[in-house]
Amino acid sequence: MIKVYSYAKCGTCRKALKFLDAHDVQYKTIPIRDQPPMKRELLKMLSAYDGNIRRLFNTSGVDYKAMKLKDILPDMAKKDAIGLLAENGNLVKRPFVVGADVALVGFNEDDWRDALL
């Protein structure tokens, strides 16, 4: 079973969950704002995205912009960036999907089809 960290008011998250339901993929939904991904899950995702920490951030989010992370993130230590994400689910790009052999962030139907079906 996979974990899907999502936000109920996020249209992309709703679309992703609809995709999973349509393809009978077993998953557990976790509210990302209340319970952000754990550091080990964030590190797994970081590895899946070739160490590109920016890919894990919700760059269009209010918190990201308010914290001016666009300017700060390039020079931030990886452990500090992971710490921020683990503490603030608003900063994490969603949906955020982890499982034994799965690590996906954002929703791209083709990528999800390749990874999950």
According to DSSP H, which parts of 11-100 are helical? 11-22, 39-48, 62-66, 69-72, 78-87
| pLDDT at res. 81 | 98
| pLDDT at res. 61 | 94
Look-up of token digits 């308010």: 66
Q: Provide the domain limits for residue 79.
A: 2-116
**Each residue's pLDDT tens digit in the chain (117 positions)?**
999 999 999 999 999 999 999 999 999 999 999 999 999 999 999 999 999 999 999 999 999 999 999 999 999 999 999 999 999 999 999 999 999 999 999 999 999 999 999
The radius of gyration computed from the CA coordinates of the chain, to the nearest angstrom, equals 14
| pLDDT at res. 115 | 95
* H or E segment to which residue 29 belongs: strand 27-31
| pLDDT at res. 59 | 96
Q: What is the count of structural domains for the chain?
A: 1
CATH no. for residue 84? 3.40.30.10
| pLDDT at res. 112 | 97
